[in-house]
């Protein structure tokens, strides 16, 4: 905490507002936990029901079950793709490795005289500044699996918890 010789007094109104906000935040955390537990309970029952029964009316509420793309486990995925020699299939995106290197590249590019030594300096500055990391996406992984270049087990292993798709419950 900062030290302030002239700290203003904490008014009763401020204390009340801070206390109320603290209680609200605590209630929200408790409600979020309860919501997660209820979602798990409901999904454990309806997850395997035929999709054509949804949307389902339950009292005043409508229940829908859908799917979304799973989250990629990048470390596991890159390991599998490297082992299977598939990294060349993945689009790449530029990443600044070093801001100092990027600045050096900018300075090097202002010197457009291109004898071989300058060209080598530009290449070195570029390599010091920019790298190209794999941009693994759901679509790339699905294509590789559809082409049987990733086995079903490898495909699933590329996703967190081994889930290429995640069942989503909506109650409105």
Report the pLDDT value the prediction gives residue 112, as an integer from 0 to 100.
66
Is residue 144 exposed (0-12), middle (13-18) or buried (19+ Cβ within 10 Å)? buried
**Structure-derived torsion over alpha carbons of residues 8, 10, 12, 15, reported in degrees to the nearest 10:** 140
CA-CA-CA-CA torsion sign (71, 73, 79, 83):
negative
**Segments of the chain scoring below 70 in pLDDT:** 1-4, 110-113
pTM: 0.61
For position 130, what pLDDT does the model report?
79
Q: What is the distance between the alpha carbons of residues 27 and 21, in angstroms, rounded to a whole number? A: 10
């Amino acid at each position: 905490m900062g030290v302030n010789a002239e700290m203003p007094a904490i008014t009763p109104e401020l204390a009340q507002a801070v206390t109320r906000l603290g209680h609200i935040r605590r209630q929200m955390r408790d409600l979020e936990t309860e919501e997660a537990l209820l979602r798990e309970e409901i999904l454990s029952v309806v997850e395997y029901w035929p999709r054509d029964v949804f949307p389902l009316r339950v009292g005043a509420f409508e229940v829908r079950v859908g799917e979304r793309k799973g989250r990629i486990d990048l470390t596991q995925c890159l390991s599998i793709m490297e082992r299977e020699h598939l990294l060349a299939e993945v689009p790449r995106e530029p990443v600044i490795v070093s801001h100092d290197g990027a600045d050096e590249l900018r300075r090097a590019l202002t010197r457009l005289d291109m004898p071989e030594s300058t060209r080598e300096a530009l290449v070195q500055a570029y390599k010091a500044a920019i790298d190209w990391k794999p941009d693994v996406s759901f679509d790339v992984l699905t294509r590789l699996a559809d082409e049987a270049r990733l086995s079903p087990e490898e495909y699933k292993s590329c996703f967190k918890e081994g889930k290429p798709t995640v069942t989503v419950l909506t109650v409105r």
